[in-house]
Chains A and B, each alone.
Chain A
Amino acid sequence: MNRFAELLDRLAYEPSRNNKLRLMTDYFRRTEDPERGYALAAMTGALSFAHAKPAIIRGLIAERTDPVLFDMSYDYVGDLSETVALLWPAPNQDRRNAPPPTLSEVILALQETQKRELPALLASWLDQLDETGRWALLKLITGSLRIGVSARLAKTALAALGDLPPNEIEEVWHGLAPPYIDLFAWVEGREPRPVATDPAPFRTPMLAHALDEADFEKLDPADFTAEWKWDGIRVQAVAGLNAEGVRTTRLYSRTGEDVSGSFPDLIDVLADERFGEIALDGELLILRDKLVEPFSVLQQRLNRKTVSAKLVAEYPAHIRAYDLLSENGEDLRALSFLERRERLASFVQRFAHPRLDLSELVDFSTWDDLAAARGDPASAGAGADAEAIEGVMLKRRDSIYVPGRPKGLWFKWKRDPFNIDAVLMYAQRGHGKRSSFYSDYTFGVWRGEELVPVGKAYFGFTDEELKELDRYVRNHTRNRFGPVRELDFSREQGLVLEVAFEGLNRSTRHKSGVAMRFPRVSRIRWDKPARDADVLDSLEALLNCRSATKAQP
């Protein structure tokens, strides 16, 4: 437990993704089975302990500390697990000398222990651990590690142990259980790949390259089909039968995360026996009155632990299918795109479910045709759904389904971003590598004589530009509010940033009433006077007529 606790402690402070990976890979390398497997389970959220509730922890500490001192301490520290970890009184000699529990012991005991025995067990562990160990134990059992490590990142660290691509881990992951002895053995090259016993496994998706417009010279339009690129989330919907003939259904995200829990309405669709044993690739969208809602509406359904019936009714989820990977035990990935699409079309037609449809092809014969469709999807067949389109996808007619991002087969051609010129208003320091730089910028546009903040951007510039921006911030500070610097801005004075963004939503959280999607600094306009920056009305106009209007760069 102590080594695991030290790992969590270090991860909690380490801002860099790469360094987090190194810390985890190093831990996996130095730690034996089954300890490391349980650590992996803890970091991927594969564990839950029904009986361990904060009330038990509160009860234990109340028996051991003065309530006034506890309140003062909790007030200062602000986190229950951490307060208890720090406050826990030093135990008597016998207990202090007992060896601390291993992570495996803790996890196995937690799974077997009855609710009424839990407090005493927990207290004996807390006596045996040091501050960091106690903190890690309490975080583990209350189920919120908050160390900035996603399941994906932990699996990537495991993959690095054996120089494997992370998706290889995902493909076997869902059939395995903690402490993953056979998984580690395979990653370390000691045993063959674990047999995927999962009846509904994840398959590594095929990804597209961003299209460089110079590529058109080398590409023949006759080799390609085009589809709309929908602004939803990419999912894999899989159903299969296990050895006993019981139906298993799963909805995976693009990275192999099982998101079934967030979309019970789609799982109902997959559970329909007519769906058969299928693995399909598509876009998850919210459809209301047969119209595709923009991403901001879909967001209401994302990252939720529990989903209410009201939410499901209000934001019904839908799959727009664009590929078929497997049908009734037959792997289709070696077929050409056109052959797969034919199979997909016939499946969708047979199934005839209102929550599943086929991604339509966009008609074109020259690249100019396609450019026109991309520029105005509404007139090119997308109609009122045009707002939920973020570009077009090009797929070679003869492309087999290659996991990963193969060259030359699939391309995404996104619509041009919107641009505005805004005035830099506030700056804040970044994190990690950028902690000495003012790298988070709040910018605003004019509303009459006043600037109103409309967004925040913290990338889009080069390292050289960051240095220049940092220097500008330091030399033009008007006020400081804690970590935030307010800059000198007025009609006469101020720095204009050209900000690119993908979309605009109404927002009640921002003073300006609008919120930008994916804003970034596209250019620093050292030359442009602040008074010539954009006005809020032009953003308002975008809101009302998004798909038709493009701000001029």
Chain B
Amino acid sequence: MTEFRNNRPTVTSESAPSGVDQAPRFGVADAAERPIDIAPQISLRGLRKTFGTVTAVDGIDLDVHDGEFFAMLGPSGSGKTTVLRMIAGFETPTSGSVFLDGTDATGLPSYRRDVNTVFQDYALFPHMTVAKNIEYGLLVDKVPKSKRVQRVGDVLEMVRLHGFGDRRPTQLSGGQRQRVALARALVKRPKVLLLDEPLGALDLKLREQMQLELKAIQRDVGITFVFVTHDQDEALTLCDRLAVFNNGRIEQLGAAQDVYEFPATAFVAGFVGSSNFIRPHVAREVFGMSGSFAVRPEKVAILPRGGPVSAGAAHIDGVVRDVVYAGAVTRIVVDGPAGLTLSSMVLNTASELDASIRRGTEVTLSWPAAALRRISD
């Protein structure tokens, strides 16, 4: 697989990056556009890791910049966690290098790296109180007592756990433990915070709330956050840039919006959000184009058969096979020509369903020409 670093189309280039500290959400696509004189906070070069005969990480090159909220997204077994563990220093790369803040940290033990980790299971010390857990890293660094108390108090305030210092981890809820883990890592004031599926163990509501909090905290402290997740919604919600992992490699690297709108490969188009795929033979037969294509369901509009199609939009005729109501949206599955099946996602703005579209209705599907994205397989 190739890294599609520069496939960004001209449409979005007016929102080009403005500065390092602003960390704009959209448009910061790649390292090349950054000022060159700033060493990346994390720099991975040719990183490989094998366990026995299994190759977990297969040649990763990646730069993560100062103050970025960066996501490593991929299915389980794609190597994203192993990469995170090599940045933290828990695994030694089989080959390749890890640079932290411009210096080679490949062989450095984790306790001598200026990065801290929020573990998936939080890894709170069960024999210590919340305050002692947070204080531990400062104690190890021989920070004077008065400063320790001050900093522990401050960070507890930041994660909104003021007054919980004397509790034991077992006396806390999942969300509270998650915050303690965050506080324990942040109190060390690292340059980089690594988060390994930090919200995986929380229920949906709490996860959404913690996403917002994480984002706010990252904005406040302004350090680099690198987090690993298999949840594409979470990655899109939180990060400035993301790398999509598959089989130990990066399939695509870019700003969240770019990766979503312009997936480079079939894997990315299918893993980040959902896509309608148009295989080469269908593309040739129906559209007279060569190659594979993908189009997002929400870009596909449903019109009455023969209805007016806006200028420049692609359209095909089809028959509704299924109407699936899912709360906010309704998914309509349509059988088109040449065995093509397309989904359309319609926002349920009215409180009643459109009764004119049901199983068997003949419709026309239409989408802006730009929504059809060419992908490599």
- Same complex: no
